[in-house]
Structure 1
Amino acid sequence: MAERPAALAPQSLQEAILVHVRQMLLEGILAPGEKIDVDAIARDFGISPPPVREALKQLQAERVVSWAPRKGFRVAKLSFADFSELQHITTVLEAEAIRLGVPRLTDADIAQMTSQRERMEQARSAQDMWTQIVAHREMHFVPYIASGMSRLVEEIQRFWEHTDHYRVLYLYKGDADQEVSLHQHVDIIEACEQRDVASVIALMDEHRTFAMTHMRTGMEFEERL
Protein backbone atom coordinates (compact mmCIF):
# COMPACT_ATOMS: atom_id res chain seq x y z
CA MET A 1 0.00 0.00 0.00
CA ALA A 2 1.24 3.53 -0.77
CA GLU A 3 2.41 5.95 1.90
CA ARG A 4 -0.31 7.31 4.16
CA PRO A 5 -0.62 10.78 5.65
CA ALA A 6 0.82 10.89 9.15
CA ALA A 7 -2.64 11.76 10.45
CA LEU A 8 -3.98 8.54 8.93
CA ALA A 9 -1.24 6.14 10.01
CA PRO A 10 -2.96 3.12 11.62
CA GLN A 11 -2.08 1.91 15.14
CA SER A 12 -4.61 -0.91 15.51
CA LEU A 13 -6.62 -3.29 13.33
CA GLN A 14 -9.65 -1.00 13.43
CA GLU A 15 -7.54 2.02 12.50
CA ALA A 16 -5.95 0.02 9.68
CA ILE A 17 -9.41 -0.80 8.34
CA LEU A 18 -10.40 2.86 8.59
CA VAL A 19 -7.32 3.94 6.64
CA HIS A 20 -8.04 1.27 4.02
CA VAL A 21 -11.60 2.52 3.51
CA ARG A 22 -10.50 6.16 3.48
CA GLN A 23 -7.91 5.31 0.82
CA MET A 24 -10.62 3.64 -1.27
CA LEU A 25 -12.68 6.82 -0.97
CA LEU A 26 -9.81 9.15 -1.82
CA GLU A 27 -8.75 7.10 -4.83
CA GLY A 28 -12.32 7.02 -6.15
CA ILE A 29 -12.68 3.25 -5.70
CA LEU A 30 -15.74 3.89 -3.54
CA ALA A 31 -18.05 6.57 -4.93
CA PRO A 32 -20.73 8.58 -3.06
CA GLY A 33 -23.87 6.47 -2.67
CA GLU A 34 -22.06 3.19 -3.38
CA LYS A 35 -22.61 0.15 -1.14
CA ILE A 36 -19.56 -0.93 0.86
CA ASP A 37 -18.77 -4.61 0.54
CA VAL A 38 -18.01 -5.57 4.14
CA ASP A 39 -17.15 -9.17 3.27
CA ALA A 40 -14.65 -8.11 0.60
CA ILE A 41 -12.86 -5.77 3.01
CA ALA A 42 -12.77 -8.55 5.61
CA ARG A 43 -11.16 -10.85 3.04
CA ASP A 44 -8.55 -8.18 2.26
CA PHE A 45 -7.50 -8.29 5.93
CA GLY A 46 -7.97 -12.02 6.40
CA ILE A 47 -10.49 -11.45 9.20
CA SER A 48 -14.19 -11.98 9.89
CA PRO A 49 -16.70 -9.18 9.04
CA PRO A 50 -17.48 -7.90 12.60
CA PRO A 51 -14.29 -5.81 13.01
CA VAL A 52 -14.99 -4.21 9.62
CA ARG A 53 -18.52 -3.33 10.70
CA GLU A 54 -17.17 -1.80 13.91
CA ALA A 55 -14.74 0.34 11.93
CA LEU A 56 -17.51 1.43 9.57
CA LYS A 57 -19.61 2.45 12.55
CA GLN A 58 -16.94 5.03 13.33
CA LEU A 59 -17.20 6.38 9.79
CA GLN A 60 -20.97 6.38 10.25
CA ALA A 61 -20.54 8.54 13.36
CA GLU A 62 -18.41 10.89 11.25
CA ARG A 63 -21.18 10.86 8.59
CA VAL A 64 -18.73 9.59 6.01
CA VAL A 65 -20.88 6.49 5.54
CA SER A 66 -24.54 5.71 6.24
CA TRP A 67 -26.28 2.52 7.33
CA ALA A 68 -29.81 1.23 6.84
CA PRO A 69 -31.48 -2.12 7.63
CA ARG A 70 -31.22 -4.62 4.75
CA LYS A 71 -29.19 -2.07 2.79
CA GLY A 72 -26.01 -2.14 4.81
CA PHE A 73 -23.29 0.50 4.73
CA ARG A 74 -23.06 3.00 1.92
CA VAL A 75 -20.79 5.95 1.22
CA ALA A 76 -22.63 9.09 2.28
CA LYS A 77 -23.79 11.21 -0.61
CA LEU A 78 -23.65 14.95 -0.11
CA SER A 79 -25.61 17.51 -2.06
CA PHE A 80 -23.69 20.57 -3.19
CA ALA A 81 -25.56 22.54 -0.52
CA ASP A 82 -24.36 20.09 2.16
CA PHE A 83 -20.83 20.23 0.80
CA SER A 84 -20.89 24.05 0.77
CA GLU A 85 -22.02 24.14 4.40
CA LEU A 86 -19.19 21.85 5.45
CA GLN A 87 -16.69 23.95 3.51
CA HIS A 88 -17.99 27.10 5.20
CA ILE A 89 -17.37 25.57 8.62
CA THR A 90 -13.93 24.40 7.52
CA THR A 91 -13.12 27.92 6.30
CA VAL A 92 -13.85 29.37 9.74
CA LEU A 93 -11.74 26.75 11.51
CA GLU A 94 -8.84 27.01 9.08
CA ALA A 95 -8.76 30.80 9.29
CA GLU A 96 -8.34 30.58 13.06
CA ALA A 97 -5.62 27.94 12.72
CA ILE A 98 -3.84 30.17 10.18
CA ARG A 99 -4.04 33.21 12.46
CA LEU A 100 -2.48 31.22 15.27
CA GLY A 101 -0.09 29.09 13.25
CA VAL A 102 1.47 31.26 10.55
CA PRO A 103 3.34 33.58 12.96
CA ARG A 104 4.82 30.47 14.61
CA LEU A 105 6.08 28.86 11.41
CA THR A 106 9.77 28.01 11.33
CA ASP A 107 12.05 27.92 8.31
CA ALA A 108 11.89 24.13 8.57
CA ASP A 109 8.08 24.33 8.33
CA ILE A 110 8.32 26.38 5.14
CA ALA A 111 10.79 23.87 3.72
CA GLN A 112 8.34 21.08 4.58
CA MET A 113 5.51 22.87 2.76
CA THR A 114 7.72 23.34 -0.29
CA SER A 115 8.80 19.70 -0.20
CA GLN A 116 5.20 18.50 -0.08
CA ARG A 117 4.23 20.80 -2.96
CA GLU A 118 7.03 19.32 -5.04
CA ARG A 119 5.85 15.82 -4.13
CA MET A 120 2.38 16.76 -5.38
CA GLU A 121 3.77 17.83 -8.73
CA GLN A 122 5.90 14.69 -9.05
CA ALA A 123 2.96 12.47 -8.08
CA ARG A 124 0.73 14.22 -10.57
CA SER A 125 3.24 13.58 -13.35
CA ALA A 126 3.47 9.92 -12.28
CA GLN A 127 -0.36 9.69 -12.06
CA ASP A 128 0.03 8.58 -8.44
CA MET A 129 -3.24 9.89 -6.98
CA TRP A 130 -2.71 8.63 -3.44
CA THR A 131 0.70 10.27 -3.01
CA GLN A 132 -0.70 13.46 -4.50
CA ILE A 133 -3.51 13.44 -1.94
CA VAL A 134 -1.08 12.68 0.90
CA ALA A 135 1.24 15.53 -0.08
CA HIS A 136 -1.66 17.96 -0.57
CA ARG A 137 -2.96 17.33 2.94
CA GLU A 138 0.47 17.39 4.55
CA MET A 139 1.30 20.72 2.90
CA HIS A 140 -1.90 22.45 4.00
CA PHE A 141 -1.73 21.14 7.55
CA VAL A 142 1.76 22.51 8.32
CA PRO A 143 0.48 25.95 9.44
CA TYR A 144 -2.55 24.40 11.17
CA ILE A 145 -0.32 22.14 13.25
CA ALA A 146 1.97 25.10 14.01
CA SER A 147 -0.99 26.69 15.83
CA GLY A 148 -0.36 24.27 18.70
CA MET A 149 -4.13 23.72 18.99
CA SER A 150 -4.45 19.95 18.67
CA ARG A 151 -8.24 19.86 19.05
CA LEU A 152 -8.65 22.52 16.40
CA VAL A 153 -6.42 20.55 14.03
CA GLU A 154 -8.43 17.38 14.75
CA GLU A 155 -11.68 19.15 13.85
CA ILE A 156 -10.22 20.44 10.58
CA GLN A 157 -8.96 16.95 9.81
CA ARG A 158 -12.43 15.51 10.49
CA PHE A 159 -14.03 17.84 7.95
CA TRP A 160 -11.32 17.06 5.38
CA GLU A 161 -11.95 13.34 5.79
CA HIS A 162 -15.67 13.91 5.29
CA THR A 163 -15.25 15.80 2.03
CA ASP A 164 -11.81 15.13 0.54
CA HIS A 165 -13.02 12.39 -1.83
CA TYR A 166 -15.33 14.92 -3.51
CA ARG A 167 -12.28 16.97 -4.44
CA VAL A 168 -10.80 13.88 -6.07
CA LEU A 169 -13.99 13.13 -8.00
CA TYR A 170 -14.74 16.59 -9.29
CA LEU A 171 -11.51 18.63 -9.27
CA TYR A 172 -8.47 16.39 -9.69
CA LYS A 173 -9.64 15.03 -13.04
CA GLY A 174 -8.88 18.20 -14.96
CA ASP A 175 -5.24 18.93 -15.82
CA ALA A 176 -5.91 22.64 -16.29
CA ASP A 177 -7.63 22.88 -12.90
CA GLN A 178 -4.76 21.09 -11.20
CA GLU A 179 -2.23 23.42 -12.85
CA VAL A 180 -4.01 26.49 -11.46
CA SER A 181 -4.30 24.86 -8.05
CA LEU A 182 -0.59 24.03 -7.94
CA HIS A 183 0.32 27.65 -8.74
CA GLN A 184 -2.01 28.79 -5.96
CA HIS A 185 -0.06 26.58 -3.57
CA VAL A 186 3.15 28.40 -4.50
CA ASP A 187 1.51 31.73 -3.58
CA ILE A 188 0.25 30.34 -0.27
CA ILE A 189 3.70 29.07 0.67
CA GLU A 190 5.31 32.40 -0.24
CA ALA A 191 2.81 34.24 1.98
CA CYS A 192 3.54 31.77 4.79
CA GLU A 193 7.27 32.42 4.33
CA GLN A 194 6.58 36.13 4.83
CA ARG A 195 4.45 35.25 7.90
CA ASP A 196 1.72 37.38 6.29
CA VAL A 197 -1.42 36.08 8.01
CA ALA A 198 -3.89 38.27 6.12
CA SER A 199 -2.47 37.23 2.74
CA VAL A 200 -2.48 33.54 3.64
CA ILE A 201 -6.15 33.72 4.65
CA ALA A 202 -7.04 35.65 1.49
CA LEU A 203 -5.13 33.22 -0.73
CA MET A 204 -6.76 30.24 0.98
CA ASP A 205 -10.18 31.81 0.37
CA GLU A 206 -9.28 32.25 -3.30
CA HIS A 207 -7.96 28.67 -3.46
CA ARG A 208 -11.15 27.29 -1.93
CA THR A 209 -13.44 29.42 -4.11
CA PHE A 210 -11.64 28.20 -7.22
CA ALA A 211 -12.13 24.58 -6.16
CA MET A 212 -15.76 25.07 -5.19
CA THR A 213 -16.59 26.82 -8.48
CA HIS A 214 -15.14 23.99 -10.54
CA MET A 215 -16.63 21.26 -8.37
CA ARG A 216 -20.13 22.73 -8.40
CA THR A 217 -20.79 21.84 -12.03
CA GLY A 218 -19.96 18.18 -11.52
CA MET A 219 -21.80 17.82 -8.22
CA GLU A 220 -24.98 19.52 -9.40
CA PHE A 221 -24.94 17.46 -12.60
CA GLU A 222 -24.79 14.27 -10.51
CA GLU A 223 -27.70 15.51 -8.37
CA ARG A 224 -29.89 15.83 -11.46
CA LEU A 225 -29.32 12.20 -12.52
Structure 2
Amino acid sequence: MSAGAIPVEPLAEEETLSLGERAYRRLRESIVQGTLRPGSRISERRMASALGISAQPVREALRRLEQDGMVVTLPRRGTVVAEIGPERLAELGRIRAALEGVAAALAAERMAGEDLAELAGIVRGMRTATAAADTEALAELNERFHAILQGATGNLFLVKSLEALRAYDDLGRLRALGSTPKDMPKALREHASILAALRARDPALAEARMRQHVLRSLTTNGVLAPPRRDR
Protein backbone atom coordinates (compact mmCIF):
# COMPACT_ATOMS: atom_id res chain seq x y z
CA MET A 1 0.00 0.00 0.00
CA SER A 2 1.39 3.41 -0.97
CA ALA A 3 2.12 6.03 1.66
CA GLY A 4 -0.96 8.01 2.58
CA ALA A 5 -3.38 5.47 1.04
CA ILE A 6 -6.57 4.84 3.02
CA PRO A 7 -7.28 1.13 3.65
CA VAL A 8 -10.97 1.32 2.70
CA GLU A 9 -12.72 -0.41 -0.19
CA PRO A 10 -14.39 2.00 -2.68
CA LEU A 11 -18.16 2.22 -2.57
CA ALA A 12 -20.15 0.24 -5.13
CA GLU A 13 -22.51 2.28 -7.32
CA GLU A 14 -25.58 1.13 -5.39
CA GLU A 15 -24.03 2.38 -2.15
CA THR A 16 -23.45 5.86 -3.58
CA LEU A 17 -27.07 6.33 -4.70
CA SER A 18 -29.49 8.27 -2.52
CA LEU A 19 -32.53 6.50 -1.12
CA GLY A 20 -34.71 8.61 -3.40
CA GLU A 21 -32.76 7.45 -6.46
CA ARG A 22 -32.93 3.82 -5.37
CA ALA A 23 -36.67 4.07 -4.77
CA TYR A 24 -37.14 5.75 -8.15
CA ARG A 25 -35.24 3.01 -9.98
CA ARG A 26 -37.04 0.21 -8.13
CA LEU A 27 -40.49 1.67 -8.76
CA ARG A 28 -39.76 2.45 -12.41
CA GLU A 29 -38.49 -1.10 -12.94
CA SER A 30 -41.63 -2.48 -11.28
CA ILE A 31 -43.82 -0.44 -13.63
CA VAL A 32 -41.84 -1.47 -16.71
CA GLN A 33 -41.87 -5.15 -15.69
CA GLY A 34 -45.61 -5.01 -15.00
CA THR A 35 -45.35 -5.79 -11.28
CA LEU A 36 -47.10 -2.47 -10.66
CA ARG A 37 -49.90 -2.59 -13.22
CA PRO A 38 -51.61 0.40 -14.90
CA GLY A 39 -54.32 1.86 -12.68
CA SER A 40 -52.94 0.37 -9.45
CA ARG A 41 -52.75 2.78 -6.52
CA ILE A 42 -49.40 3.51 -4.87
CA SER A 43 -49.57 4.36 -1.19
CA GLU A 44 -46.51 6.26 0.02
CA ARG A 45 -46.76 4.69 3.48
CA ARG A 46 -47.22 1.12 2.28
CA MET A 47 -44.54 1.45 -0.40
CA ALA A 48 -42.09 2.88 2.14
CA SER A 49 -42.79 -0.07 4.42
CA ALA A 50 -42.30 -2.55 1.55
CA LEU A 51 -38.98 -0.96 0.61
CA GLY A 52 -37.84 -0.64 4.22
CA ILE A 53 -37.32 3.13 4.05
CA SER A 54 -39.08 6.29 5.21
CA ALA A 55 -41.87 7.95 3.21
CA GLN A 56 -39.75 10.93 2.09
CA PRO A 57 -37.59 9.05 -0.50
CA VAL A 58 -40.74 7.39 -1.86
CA ARG A 59 -42.40 10.79 -2.18
CA GLU A 60 -39.34 12.06 -4.06
CA ALA A 61 -39.42 9.01 -6.36
CA LEU A 62 -43.11 9.46 -7.12
CA ARG A 63 -42.58 13.11 -8.02
CA ARG A 64 -39.96 12.07 -10.57
CA LEU A 65 -42.15 9.31 -11.94
CA GLU A 66 -44.98 11.79 -12.33
CA GLN A 67 -42.66 14.10 -14.28
CA ASP A 68 -41.79 11.10 -16.46
CA GLY A 69 -45.50 10.46 -17.02
CA MET A 70 -45.38 6.98 -15.48
CA VAL A 71 -47.69 7.80 -12.56
CA VAL A 72 -50.50 10.31 -12.18
CA THR A 73 -52.25 11.89 -9.19
CA LEU A 74 -56.03 11.59 -9.39
CA PRO A 75 -58.71 13.24 -7.20
CA ARG A 76 -59.87 10.96 -4.35
CA ARG A 77 -57.59 8.16 -5.57
CA GLY A 78 -54.11 9.52 -4.94
CA THR A 79 -51.13 8.34 -6.98
CA VAL A 80 -51.77 5.57 -9.51
CA VAL A 81 -49.71 3.93 -12.25
CA ALA A 82 -50.47 5.68 -15.55
CA GLU A 83 -52.25 3.93 -18.39
CA ILE A 84 -49.70 3.93 -21.22
CA GLY A 85 -51.48 2.74 -24.32
CA PRO A 86 -50.17 1.92 -27.80
CA GLU A 87 -50.81 5.44 -29.12
CA ARG A 88 -48.83 6.99 -26.26
CA LEU A 89 -45.94 4.57 -26.80
CA ALA A 90 -45.93 5.31 -30.52
CA GLU A 91 -45.88 9.04 -29.86
CA LEU A 92 -42.98 8.74 -27.42
CA GLY A 93 -41.17 6.43 -29.85
CA ARG A 94 -41.24 9.12 -32.54
CA ILE A 95 -39.92 11.65 -30.05
CA ARG A 96 -37.08 9.30 -29.13
CA ALA A 97 -36.23 8.75 -32.80
CA ALA A 98 -35.98 12.51 -33.30
CA LEU A 99 -33.80 13.02 -30.22
CA GLU A 100 -31.55 10.08 -31.10
CA GLY A 101 -31.11 11.62 -34.54
CA VAL A 102 -30.08 14.96 -33.04
CA ALA A 103 -27.63 13.14 -30.75
CA ALA A 104 -26.05 11.40 -33.76
CA ALA A 105 -25.69 14.72 -35.59
CA LEU A 106 -23.98 16.36 -32.62
CA ALA A 107 -21.76 13.31 -32.08
CA ALA A 108 -20.63 13.45 -35.71
CA GLU A 109 -19.34 16.97 -35.03
CA ARG A 110 -17.88 16.41 -31.56
CA MET A 111 -16.95 12.75 -31.08
CA ALA A 112 -13.35 12.09 -30.10
CA GLY A 113 -11.19 9.54 -31.89
CA GLU A 114 -11.12 7.18 -28.90
CA ASP A 115 -14.92 7.13 -28.82
CA LEU A 116 -15.03 6.25 -32.50
CA ALA A 117 -12.55 3.45 -31.86
CA GLU A 118 -14.71 2.15 -29.01
CA LEU A 119 -17.80 2.19 -31.23
CA ALA A 120 -15.87 0.25 -33.87
CA GLY A 121 -15.05 -2.37 -31.26
CA ILE A 122 -18.71 -2.57 -30.27
CA VAL A 123 -19.76 -3.09 -33.88
CA ARG A 124 -17.21 -5.91 -34.16
CA GLY A 125 -18.73 -7.43 -31.04
CA MET A 126 -22.19 -7.06 -32.59
CA ARG A 127 -20.98 -8.95 -35.66
CA THR A 128 -19.81 -11.86 -33.49
CA ALA A 129 -22.99 -11.85 -31.39
CA THR A 130 -25.16 -11.70 -34.52
CA ALA A 131 -23.41 -14.74 -35.99
CA ALA A 132 -24.07 -16.59 -32.72
CA ALA A 133 -27.66 -15.25 -32.43
CA ASP A 134 -26.73 -14.07 -28.91
CA THR A 135 -29.62 -11.70 -28.16
CA GLU A 136 -28.45 -10.94 -24.61
CA ALA A 137 -25.00 -9.82 -25.79
CA LEU A 138 -26.55 -7.79 -28.61
CA ALA A 139 -28.85 -5.96 -26.18
CA GLU A 140 -25.88 -5.03 -23.98
CA LEU A 141 -23.75 -3.92 -26.94
CA ASN A 142 -26.62 -1.87 -28.34
CA GLU A 143 -27.02 -0.12 -24.99
CA ARG A 144 -23.29 0.71 -24.91
CA PHE A 145 -23.28 1.95 -28.51
CA HIS A 146 -26.07 4.45 -27.88
CA ALA A 147 -24.71 5.50 -24.46
CA ILE A 148 -21.27 6.32 -25.89
CA LEU A 149 -22.77 8.19 -28.81
CA GLN A 150 -25.06 10.23 -26.57
CA GLY A 151 -22.28 10.98 -24.10
CA ALA A 152 -20.13 12.29 -26.95
CA THR A 153 -22.66 15.07 -27.61
CA GLY A 154 -21.65 16.85 -24.41
CA ASN A 155 -25.30 17.94 -24.11
CA LEU A 156 -26.59 16.99 -20.67
CA PHE A 157 -30.16 18.10 -21.41
CA LEU A 158 -30.33 15.82 -24.44
CA VAL A 159 -28.84 12.87 -22.53
CA LYS A 160 -31.28 13.35 -19.62
CA SER A 161 -34.22 13.62 -22.03
CA LEU A 162 -33.29 10.32 -23.65
CA GLU A 163 -32.83 8.69 -20.23
CA ALA A 164 -36.37 9.76 -19.30
CA LEU A 165 -37.68 8.02 -22.43
CA ARG A 166 -35.74 4.80 -21.83
CA ALA A 167 -38.37 3.27 -19.54
CA TYR A 168 -41.01 3.72 -22.22
CA ASP A 169 -38.70 2.04 -24.71
CA ASP A 170 -38.31 -0.92 -22.34
CA LEU A 171 -42.06 -1.01 -21.77
CA GLY A 172 -42.70 -1.07 -25.51
CA ARG A 173 -40.27 -3.95 -26.00
CA LEU A 174 -41.89 -6.00 -23.22
CA ARG A 175 -45.36 -5.51 -24.68
CA ALA A 176 -44.22 -6.49 -28.16
CA LEU A 177 -43.23 -9.84 -29.58
CA GLY A 178 -39.59 -8.82 -29.78
CA SER A 179 -37.00 -9.04 -32.53
CA THR A 180 -36.49 -12.25 -34.45
CA PRO A 181 -33.11 -13.65 -35.59
CA LYS A 182 -33.74 -12.37 -39.11
CA ASP A 183 -33.75 -8.78 -37.75
CA MET A 184 -30.27 -9.08 -36.22
CA PRO A 185 -28.25 -8.69 -39.46
CA LYS A 186 -30.36 -5.66 -40.34
CA ALA A 187 -29.61 -4.02 -36.99
CA LEU A 188 -25.91 -4.80 -37.42
CA ARG A 189 -25.86 -3.13 -40.85
CA GLU A 190 -27.63 -0.08 -39.43
CA HIS A 191 -25.13 0.34 -36.58
CA ALA A 192 -22.23 -0.05 -39.02
CA SER A 193 -23.74 2.59 -41.32
CA ILE A 194 -24.21 5.01 -38.40
CA LEU A 195 -20.58 4.47 -37.43
CA ALA A 196 -19.51 5.20 -41.02
CA ALA A 197 -21.42 8.49 -40.97
CA LEU A 198 -19.83 9.44 -37.64
CA ARG A 199 -16.37 8.66 -39.01
CA ALA A 200 -17.13 10.80 -42.07
CA ARG A 201 -18.08 13.68 -39.72
CA ASP A 202 -21.36 14.02 -41.63
CA PRO A 203 -24.04 15.29 -39.20
CA ALA A 204 -26.94 15.17 -41.67
CA LEU A 205 -26.17 11.60 -42.73
CA ALA A 206 -25.61 10.43 -39.14
CA GLU A 207 -28.93 11.96 -38.07
CA ALA A 208 -30.85 10.42 -40.98
CA ARG A 209 -29.36 6.96 -40.45
CA MET A 210 -29.92 7.00 -36.69
CA ARG A 211 -33.49 8.17 -37.05
CA GLN A 212 -34.20 5.50 -39.65
CA HIS A 213 -32.63 2.85 -37.38
CA VAL A 214 -34.72 3.80 -34.35
CA LEU A 215 -37.97 4.00 -36.33
CA ARG A 216 -37.28 0.64 -37.95
CA SER A 217 -36.56 -1.01 -34.59
CA LEU A 218 -39.75 0.46 -33.10
CA THR A 219 -41.74 -0.87 -36.05
CA THR A 220 -40.14 -4.31 -35.67
CA ASN A 221 -41.02 -4.36 -31.97
CA GLY A 222 -44.63 -3.42 -32.71
CA VAL A 223 -44.49 0.01 -31.08
CA LEU A 224 -45.03 1.77 -34.42
CA ALA A 225 -47.27 0.56 -37.22
CA PRO A 226 -45.51 -0.26 -40.51
CA PRO A 227 -45.54 2.70 -42.94
CA ARG A 228 -48.48 2.69 -45.33
CA ARG A 229 -47.75 1.97 -48.94
CA ASP A 230 -49.85 3.82 -51.49
CA ARG A 231 -51.21 1.63 -54.21
Whether the TM-score (by the shorter chain) exceeds 0.5 is yes
| C-alpha distance in 2 between matches for 1:22 and 1:134 | 20
Matched, 1:95 2:89: no
2:194 to 188, 194, 203: 188
| C-alpha distance in 2 between matches for 1:121 and 1:25 | 33
| C-alpha distance in 2 between matches for 1:19 and 1:141 | 18
Find the counterpart in structure 2 of residue 163 from structure 1: 169
Distance 1:177 1:67, change over 3 A: farther
Matches within 5 A, 1:66-215: 66-68=72-74, 69-70=76-77, 72-74=79-81, 76-116=82-122, 118=125, 128=136, 135-170=141-176, 172=178, 174-215=180-221
Residue pair 1:98, 1:143 contacting (<8 A) in 2 also: yes
| C-alpha distance in 1 between matches for 2:141 and 2:202 | 23
Find the counterpart in structure 1 of residue 229 from structure 2: none
Residue pair 1:172, 1:178 contacting (<8 A) in 2 also: no
Residue pair 2:104, 2:210 contacting (<8 A) in 1 also: no
Distance 1:71 1:205, change over 3 A: same
| C-alpha distance in 2 between matches for 1:132 and 1:25 | 24
Find the counterpart in structure 2 of residue 20 from structure 1: 26
What TM-score, normalized to structure 1?
0.69
| C-alpha distance in 2 between matches for 1:121 and 1:172 | 20
| C-alpha distance in 1 between matches for 2:183 and 2:49 | 37
Identity of aligned residues (%): 23
| C-alpha distance in 1 between matches for 2:121 and 2:42 | 37
Q: Which runs of 5+ in 2 are unaligned?
A: 1-12, 226-231
Find the counterpart in structure 1 of residue 5 from structure 2: none
| C-alpha distance in 2 between matches for 1:48 and 1:125 | 45
Residue pair 1:80, 1:216 contacting (<8 A) in 2 also: no
TM-aligned CA deviation for residue 82 of structure 1: 2.2
Q: Which amino acid aligns with 1:73?
A: V
TM-aligned CA deviation for residue 200 of structure 1: 1.9
Matched, 1:35 2:40: yes
Secondary structure of the residue aligned to 2:83 is coil
Secondary structure of the residue aligned to 2:221 is helix
Q: Deviations over 1:175-222 (max 9, x none)?
A: 433453344223322332333323322221221221232233799xxx
Secondary structure of the residue aligned to 1:213 is helix
| C-alpha distance in 2 between matches for 1:171 and 1:182 | 20
Q: Which amino acid aligns with 2:113?
A: D
| C-alpha distance in 1 between matches for 2:15 and 2:149 | 20
Q: Which runs of 5+ in 1 are unaligned?
A: 1-5, 220-225
Secondary structure of the residue aligned to 1:202 is helix
Q: Deviations over 1:18-67 (max 9, x none)?
A: 222334455x3547626376646753x43245532431231012102234
| C-alpha distance in 2 between matches for 1:162 and 1:195 | 31
| C-alpha distance in 2 between matches for 1:167 and 1:145 | 23
TM-aligned CA deviation for residue 15 of structure 1: 0.5
Which has the larger Rg? 2
TM-aligned CA deviation for residue 16 of structure 1: 1.2
Residue pair 2:109, 2:201 contacting (<8 A) in 1 also: yes
Distance 1:29 1:120, change over 3 A: farther
